[in-house]
Each structure stands twice: as structure tokens, then as C-alpha cells.
Amino acid sequence: MKRDIEMKDLQTWDESYDVLVVGSGSAALSAALRASVGGLRVKVIEKSRFIGGTSAMSGSGTWIPANHHAAAAGFKDSIDEALEYMRASAPKGWSATEDHLWKAFAYAAPQTLRFIEANTPLEFVLTEEPDVVPELKGGKQRGRMLSPKPLSKWIVGRYAGKIRTSTLPHLFTYQEVYDGDLYHSPVRAALRVLPRLAWRVLSRSRAQGSALITGLLKGCLDNGCEIETGARVMQLLPGEGGRVDGLELESGGRRKRYRATSGVVIASGGFEWNKEMLNEYFPGKLDWLGSPSTNEGDGQRMVAAIGGKLAHMDQANVYPAIPTRYEGKPHGLPIIFQAEKHAIVVNSSAKRFVSEYDFNIGVEVDRRDPETGQPVNLPGWVIADSRLLKGAPPLAFYSGRSRDWLVKANTIRELAAKIGLPEDALEATVARYNGFCRDGSDRDFHRGESKWEQFKAGGKGNALGPIDRPPYVAAPFNRSILGTKGGAQTNEFGQVLREDSSVIPGLYAAGLSMANPIGTFAIGPGTTIGPNLTWGYICGEALANEKRMVGLLKTGKVVA
């Protein structure tokens, strides 16, 4: 009797849709767009009062292999080469569990880009960046990295003021930041494109993540998607046979139940702002978080509550950041500030442990002891001389707003004493590095020798510079996280799996809420946004195809 009452209660719905999408970042809106273009009635539910999540705050570098823009520009690439590169660059052992997901991504990514440009105002352009390890089989010097052109927020009407703002300068396009060297020469960079910046201010146009979310949102709205903000999804509601029939949310002080006749897509971001989860999966020193504070692992929690399998919970976008404030709270501003000629990174023993120009420096910062699970290199520090601040006005500006962040001293020994590092060891490390600078070769970590590091340094031989001009400077260099990458284990169609690898019917996951098949080790600068868009598209495609098949079965046009 009790079971009958519960089932009857679950079938009382406040609203009903074909698809419910939890979250409003790039993965969420990509899923909503594909499903709505496929004829499904879609509602996007966002916990925050702002739309766009971490994607809106990002630089929106977008890694899409074998894309049509590269082909038009004469860059040769293929899905097979992309797969070769993903396999060659992956951490040991990942191929056994992730290869089928890499295949799904590699095949769907070029389709995703074409689909988005055909169904939204978004236009992507190639950037000049290579793959992170282009020397590996299947790697490319150029053609896989893109970013969107600016868009006016006015095109989304009343939602213009609801698009999440960023700590990054979204007046500039992704490529303008690099071309003008905004980090080292902000005034000159602005003057180079001053007429464009003035027009963007007048037209309320923005680039990077702001443009990405504006364009995706416009496409969703044009295809009939409904958007609800300020609504926190509390739980998923399974029905007969364990199928997810809908969800329960809290909005305006009351609980509501929404039905999803085709499926629910979890794309609610990471869990980095959930202290308990962060301490469990990322123990040890943490500097800054660079995502919206609403990323509290709601999606991961709800998936686990109905028996879904969670995986890769120890993976994240670990990226250098400096302190700023956002929405009145301490926050991380993503800047590769350690990759400067006159700077090195040392661990708690005052020894270097990685090339400072390595794009995946976060992997080494996060390296764990296999026995204890604790980070082996933390606390870490950037050690530099006076040229660190003189050559980077933005760094000087932000350090002035966070007065306790940087430590200064007249000698290396004095600096070591102030930050608690062994004095003799730090002196020896700096002396050894300065010797490499004189010789023109980093014999320890080959800094500036790879194609990626030469690109970052602005040419061969530009990555090394001695640390010998006081005052000397130290800045903490521990984990800063832009988004965790662990969550629901999915199959190649984005369907969430149980512990026994069976499918939970009606439940999908994408973006940073899924067990991301590209973890902490990034294979390109855009290997968060590119896969997010693609996995959202894959989920929407699967839902649209399922709806179509059900319709054909009902009409008898397909024999079951």
C-alpha cells in the first residue's frame, strides 16, 4: 500500500517537458540546443541567478580536431590522427577505460562545431596555438584550437543582464590577448584595437566565454527552450524500472516537481566549492578557486543517490591563478604567471620539480603520494626577481590589492627564511638555474625546448633568464582549480551508468558533471570547452534520436 502511495505521489507533476537540463554552461546549453533543434520541448534549470556557469567565465579556447575551419585554411587533420594523439598523450592506463569515449568525442566534435555555427549566431575562428604535445603521433602545430568571435549581449533580450560576468577581460578576443601580449603590455594591447573595444562597449559586445554563452543561449531561445534561473535541483525522481522520470527542485522558497518524458541531462558543473568533497578528493594545500561558487557538486550527489557510478573524482582543471575578488569573495584569476624568464617554481624542499612553461604544470603540482594520497610537491612557491612585477603590470596591480600574497626580500636566503624554505637549498636551486641560463640549456627539465614551450616563450631560446636582481619575490604556487572533472560515469551516448555498468534509463551527463575522459592532463588549451560542447551535443543527439525512434515505433513505420 505504501509503495502505491509513493508511486502515485511521484506522478504528480508541476510541469512537464521532454528534456530537463540541469545547469546552463557550455555542455548544458549544447545539449539543450541539440535536443530542441531535434523537436523536443526543453527546459534549462540553473541554480544561480546568472547563466553560463564556468564556461561564461572562461577564455573559451575550444579544442575541436578535424574541424572545417582548419580544412578551409589548408591544415590537414583527421579523426584518426586525433585519436592517435589522444591515445599517445593519455596518462598510463586510461586507454583501457576511456578509448570508446575518445572515439565518440573525436567523431562527434567536428559535427558539434558545424551544428552550433548552423543553429546559433556563433562564429569560431582558429587561434595560433599548437597542441600541448604536438611532437606526439597525431599531434598538430595548428588547426585544432578555436575561439568565438564577439557577440552583443543585446541579442538575448531580457537575458542580457543574466549572463555571468568574468574575471577575465572579455572585451578582448582570445587571439587579441595573445597578439597584443595583454599580460605584459596592457596599454599597448588596448591601443592596437581601440576602435574595436569602443564599439564593443557601445554595443555591449563581448568575446571569449561571454560570447560563447550568449550565442548558445540565443540558439536555445530561438528553438523554444525555456530557461529558469535561481532554481536548485534537489533530487532526481526515478519511476518504474528505475527510469529517471523527472526531478525535484527548490525555487522561490517552494518545492516543485518537473517531469521529463525523454530524459534529464546533468550538466551542473564541478564540485570544487563543496568543502567536504574537495577535502576528500583533493587533500592538501589549495590556493584559489576560479569558478562560480554554486559549483557544489549537486549533480554528482544526485547521481550517486540513485545508484549512479562516479569516476575520475581526483581529476580537475588545475591551473595557475592569482588572487582577485569576485561577487564579494576571494577568487582565482587564471594567469600563467609562473611562466616568466626570471622565475622558477620550487617545492617544499626548495627544489624545482617541473618546467615552469609546461602547460600541464598542474599535473605535477597535484602529484600524489600513492601510499598516503597527499600531494608530494606542496607547498610550492614561485621564486623570482624584481623583473616579475616590472614586466607584468596586471600582476603588479593584483598583488597590490592582495598585500599578503607576495613576499619580498633583499637576498635569496632572507626570502627562504620568510617563507619557511631551507635557505641553503633555495640558494643552491637558484644558483643551478642561473647556471642553466648562462649555458642556454635547462638540463633538469628542458624548459623552452618543446614546441609548445617555444610558442609560449615567443621563440627558441626565450624561456631562460637569471634570477639575480633584488628585491627577490616569492608567491604561493599550490593547487588552483578552475573546475573539477569527476562525476557520473557515462557510455558513448552520454547515458549515466550504474556500478554494474548498466544504463540508468532517462539520465544523461555532460561537461564537468561527468567522469571526464580527458582529465587533469590537458591535450590542448581548449580541452575543457571543446569536450563540454561535444558531450552536450552527444546527449542531445541521443535524446532526439530516441524520441524519433519512439515516434516511428508508435506509427508502425519501424518494426520493433
Confidence at residue 400, expressed as pLDDT on a 0 to 100 scale: 84
Residue 518 DSSP one-character state:
S
pLDDT of the residue at 329: 93
Over range 220-234, report the average pLDDT. Answer: 98
C-alpha span between 353 and 346 (Å, rounded): 7
Least confident of 1-5, 49-53, 54-58, 420-424: 1-5
The contacts of residue 551 (CB under 8 Å, 6+ apart) are: none
Residue 5 in this model has a pLDDT that exceeds 50: no
Residue 87: its H or E element = helix 79-89
Confidence of residue 2 (pLDDT cuts 50, 70, 90): very low
Report long-range pairs for 134-138 (Cβ below 8 Å, ≥24 apart). 134/451, 134/452, 135/450, 135/451, 136/85, 136/88, 136/89, 137/84, 137/85, 137/88, 138/80, 138/81, 138/82, 138/83, 138/84, 138/85, 138/86, 138/87, 138/88
Top-confidence residue, 461 or 543: 543
Q: Is residue 560 very low, low, confident or very high in pLDDT (cuts 50, 70, 90)?
A: very low
Percent of the residues in the chain that have a pLDDT greater than 90, as a whole number: 91
Domain 2-170+207-316+487-555 bears CATH identifier 3.40.50.720: no
pLDDT confidence of residue 98: 97
List, for residues 498-509, the tens digit of each pLDDT value. Answer: 999 999 999 999
CA distance 140 to 133: 8
**What is the pLDDT, as a whole number, of residue 556?**
54
| Average pLDDT over every residue of 155-164 | 97
**399 exposed, middle or buried (CB, 10 Å; 0-12, 13-18, 19+)?**
buried
* Residue-level pLDDT at 557: 54
Q: CATH assignment of 339-476?
A: 3.90.700.10
Q: For 10-35, what is the mean pLDDT?
A: 94
- Cβ atoms within 10 Å of 389's Cβ, excluding its own: 18
Query: What is the Cα–Cα distance from 181 to 163, expressed in whole angstroms?
Result: 27
CB atoms within 10 A of CB 286: 17
Residue range 349-373: mean pLDDT, rounded: 97
Do 2-170+207-316+487-555 and 339-476 have matching folds? no
Does residue 533 carry a pLDDT above 60? yes
The answer to whether the CB of 161 falls within 8 A of the CB of 143 is no
| pLDDT at position 7 over 80 | no
CA–CA separation, 175 vs 194, rounded Å?
A: 15
Residue 546 confidence class, pLDDT cut points 50, 70, 90:
confident
Is residue 399 very low, low, confident or very high in pLDDT (cuts 50, 70, 90)? confident
Q: What is the pLDDT of residue 403?
A: 82
Q: What is the pLDDT of residue 8?
A: 42
Of the CA atoms within 13 Å of residue 375, those in its CB half-sphere come to 24
97-150 pLDDT, tens digit per residue, is 999 999 999 999 999 999 999 999 999 999 999 999 999 999 999 999 999 999
Q: How confident is the model at residue 301 (pLDDT cuts 50, 70, 90)?
A: very high
pLDDT for 454 beyond 60: yes
Whether the per-residue pLDDT at 87 is higher than 50: the answer is yes
Q: Check pLDDT > 60 for residue 549.
A: no
Query: Domain segments of the chain: what residues?
Result: 2-170+207-316+487-555, 339-476
Mean pLDDT of the residues in the chain:
94
| CB 215, CB 33: distance < 8 Å | no
